[in-house]
Amino acid sequence: MHFVKIAIELIIGFSGLFIMTKILGKATLAQVTAFDFISAIVLGEFVGNALYDKNVGIGSILYAIALWGLLIYLVEWCTQKFRSSRSFLEGKPAIIIRNGHLDRTAMKKEKLDIDMLLNLLRQKSVFSIREVAYAILETDGTVSVLKKSQYDTPTMEDLSQPKKSVYLPITIISDGEVDWENVKEAGLNEEWLLKNLRLHHIHNYKDVFYCEWKKDEGIFIEKM
């Protein structure tokens, strides 16, 4: 009987959550806000505890699902009805690369470091910051990218050009720290690095926020 009770509660909890997601709609599910994230954790914890806590019954599960569903619905209604509430309830996009340059103030505000940014860009098939004209951190944590014209999707005329070799960019400096393993892997050395930094009027590694090297395009530097 214990297993039967767990099965019934699990089925009812699953059905309730499924119905709630159907009511809220696909658009809500596609954009997970901070409130939605909290809701998912709370509901998941509640349904999980209900399976093993004898003091929590089926009625409590359905009540919790209905109440949280109502709260999420009210939040969505407010954002649809009152435009001014959207930035507070849903957050707003942040421009983290502006006109080809990293916006460190925006990155710091969004708690986004250079490694996280590179990861998000790779998910958009962008392997180098130099390819990006603008990058916007959306409210759901994804990044929208507008590439520079020379890196944008090629036209039919471009496709008639001879194929070129493709090279991955190698991170040389991140947050003022040199990755000497990457320097060695790229076949470079400290003398080469110092020479290129001096060409950009930089005399200390700590003055470099981000530096990468690409075999066919050379060095790319973002200062502190």
Q: Has residue 63 been placed in a domain?
A: yes
What is this structure's pTM? Answer: 0.58
**pLDDT for res 85:** 64
Burial of 73 (0-12, 13-18, 19+ CB in 10 A): middle
Total domains, the chain: 3
Does 36 lie in the same domain as 50?
A: yes
Q: Per the domain annotation, does 147 fall within a domain?
A: yes
My answer on whether 33 and 13 are in the same domain is yes
Q: What is the pLDDT of residue 28?
A: 47
Residues 71, 144 within the same domain: no
Same domain, 76 and 12: yes
3-state secondary structure at position 165: coil
Is residue 157, in this structure, part of any structural domain at all?
no
Q: What is the CATH number of the domain that holds 103?
A: 3.30.240.20
Give yes or no: residues 106 and 67 share one domain: no
Q: pLDDT (tens digit, 0 to 9) for every residue of the chain, 224 residues total?
A: 566 766 666 676 666 666 766 665 544 444 555 555 666 666 666 666 665 666 666 676 677 667 767 777 777 777 677 766 666 666 678 889 888 899 888 888 888 888 888 888 888 888 888 888 888 888 777 888 888 878 877 665 666 766 667 677 888 888 888 888 888 888 888 888 888 888 888 888 888 888 898 888 888 888 88
Range of the domain at 6: 2-88
Whether 138 and 173 share a structural domain:
no
Say if residue 121 is in the same domain as residue 173: no
Q: What is the pLDDT of residue 146?
A: 86
The answer to whether the Cα torsion of 137, 143, 147, 151 is positive or negative is positive
**Domain check: are 141 and 205 in the same one?**
no
Q: Is 203 a domain residue?
A: yes
The pLDDT value recorded for residue 30 is 47
Q: Mark whether 79 and 101 lie in a shared domain.
A: no
Identify whether 156 is part of a domain.
Answer: no
Does one domain contain both 55 and 121? no
Q: What is the DSSP string of 83-147?
A: GGGHHHHT---EEEEETTEE-HHHHHHTT--HHHHHHHHHTTT---GGGEEEEEE-TTS-EEEEE
Residue 8 and residue 71 in one domain: yes
The answer to whether position 107 is within a domain reads yes
Residues 22 and 76 grouped into a single domain? yes
Q: What is the pLDDT of residue 25?
A: 53
In a domain, 180, yes or no: yes
User: DSSP 3-state assignment of 158?
Assistant: helix
Which of residues 70, 88, 106 is at a domain's end?
A: 88
